[in-house]
Structure formats: C-alpha cells, structure tokens
A and B are shown apart, each in its own frame.
Chain A
Amino acid sequence: EAQVTQNPRYLITVTGKKLTVTCSQNMNHEYMSWYRQDPGLGLRQIYYSMNVEVTDKGDVPEGYKVSRKEKRNFPLILESPSPNQTSLYFCASRPTGLSNQPQHFGDGTRLSIL
C-alpha cells in the first residue's frame, strides 16, 4: 500500500530536549515536505526537499532542521524545542515529474512542548 508514515504520532516533551520526527514514503517520490497545522492558520510549509541531498526552507523554517540522505526518508529535527513549536505536523510527498500530481500526506504527529 502506498503510504507516508510518520513517527511518533503523539509526543509530549519539555523545552530544550532534542527530538526527531521521522517520515518515510514507499512511493519512490522525489519531493517531500513538512508542514505544521495551527488553528486559524491552516498548513504552513516548514521545509521541503526536491530530491536526495537537496533541501530548502519553506515559509516557517525557524527552529527546525531536516535532512534527506535517502530518497524515502525525510526526518524533521527540533534541536531545542520551545512551546511555540507545539503543533500538529504533517509530512507529504509527491513525484516531481508531473506538476499537477497531488501530495500524499502522513497521518500527522501531534507535538506538545511543555
């Protein structure tokens, strides 16, 4: 089954404790992206990656890092989490060859930073 898998689904942690949210897709997609969803703001893009070793900032990259060492994986790293990063996070992927192909989304990761 084609899917985007995120882990963990839920996490409660404390300010300053480094965490990583993993994202993996099994569709051989070149493009992957991270979004955060906040009430009244919709989804905002954090980082995206066009392919292996190619990443770029989205609209709200501050406080986040990403890496793309393999095509299937695109982890989101919070080096020193802060309460304003409490949010619902989504990973997404799609092929880049056909520009109108929709993105496939993971089921989300709800982070609470205390």
Chain B
Amino acid sequence: GDSVTQMEGPVTLSEEAFLTINCTYTATGYPSLFWYVQYPGEGLQLLLKATKADDKGSNKGFEATYRKETTSFHLEKGSVQVSDSAVYFCALRAKGNTGFQKLVFGTGTRLLVSP
C-alpha cells in the first residue's frame, strides 16, 4: 500500500544551520505531496505542498521538490531559527480503496533548534 518514510528524529541544530529532513514515499499513480508542521500543543498546519513531478513547494524559507525518479520530497531550509522547533510530517494524498483520496502520513521528525 501507499506509505511515507521519514528520517527519525530528533534533529538537533544550532540557529542558522542548514536543515534537511528526508522523506521518501511509495504510491501508485501520481500522489500529491505535503509537509505539515506541528508546533507544541497545537494541531498540524500545512507548510508546503507539491502536486506533480519537479514541482517545488516553498513557504517561510522552507523548500521541498517533488522528485519522481527518486520518490522523494526532502524538506530543506537554509538557516533555521529557534522558532522552527517543531515536529514535521511528510504526507501524501493518494487514492484509497474506495477511490477516495486519503492522506497518508510519515511518523514525524522532531526538530530542535538551539540559540
């Protein structure tokens, strides 16, 4: 079935460091890909998305490119801030058994940024 694999955390960085969180997926067809962010005590918020191969999603300095050849959607940011500390979820939207499109999440990666 469809699945998403993320690197395990926590990822611990100093402020202004470069961030990469790896995400790979398995899906039939052409899924849409998403990154969600969960700040402490809050629900998930959409960070960015990409709907087709070679699309680049970007928001708040974060970027991810939909790579069909490597089935990947890695999240990157050039210079992280303490306020970026959160849990990041990679997700795909694919067709379920009933034909309806459902979200499939990775296990989440916690990012800790220290001053």
List chain A positions with a Cβ less than 8 A from chain B: 4, 33, 35, 40-45, 48, 50, 56, 58, 90, 92, 99-100, 102-103, 105-108
Set of chain A residues within 8 Å of B107, measured between Cβ atoms: 40-42
Q: In the complex the two chains form, what is the Cα distance from A41 to B107 in whole Å?
A: 5
List chain B positions with a Cβ less than 8 A from chain A: 4, 32, 34, 36, 41-46, 49, 51, 89, 93, 98, 100-103, 105-108
Query: Do A103 and B103 touch across chains, with their CB atoms under 8 A apart?
Result: yes
Query: Do B100 and A107 touch across chains, with their CB atoms under 8 A apart?
Result: no
Set of chain B residues within 8 Å of A42, measured between Cβ atoms: 4, 89, 105-108
Set of chain B residues within 8 Å of A45, measured between Cβ atoms: 102-103
Q: In the complex the two chains form, what is the Cα distance from A40 to B6 in whole Å?
A: 11
- Is chain B's interface secondary structure helix, strand, loop, or mixed overall? strand
Counted as pairs of residues, one from A and one from B, with CB atoms less than 8 Å apart, the total is 51
Q: In the complex the two chains form, what is the Cα distance from A56 to B32 in whole Å?
A: 22
Query: Do B44 and A105 touch across chains, with their CB atoms under 8 A apart?
Result: yes
Q: In the complex the two chains form, what is the Cα distance from A10 to B106 in whole Å?
A: 25
B36 to chain A, nearest CB (A): 8
Contact of A105 among B43, B49, B93 (CB under 8 A): B43
Q: In the complex the two chains form, what is the Cα distance from A33 to B104 in whole Å?
A: 12
CB closest chain-A residue, reference B1: A59
Known: A90-B44, A105-B44, A107-B41. A100 touches B102 (CB 8 A): no
Query: Do B46 and A102 touch across chains, with their CB atoms under 8 A apart?
Result: yes
Known: A40-B107, A42-B106, A45-B102. A100 touches B93 (CB 8 A): yes
CB closest chain-B residue, reference A106: B43
Q: In the complex the two chains form, what is the Cα distance from A100 to B94 in whole Å?
A: 10
Q: In the complex the two chains form, what is the Cα distance from A56 to B93 in whole Å?
A: 17
Q: In the complex the two chains form, what is the Cα distance from A41 to B43 in whole Å?
A: 16
Q: List 21 A-B contacts (CB under 8 A).
A: A33-B103, A40-B107, A42-B105, A43-B44, A43-B103, A48-B100, A50-B100, A56-B98, A56-B100, A90-B43, A99-B93, A99-B101, A102-B49, A103-B103, A105-B44, A105-B45, A106-B43, A107-B42, A108-B41, A108-B42, A108-B43
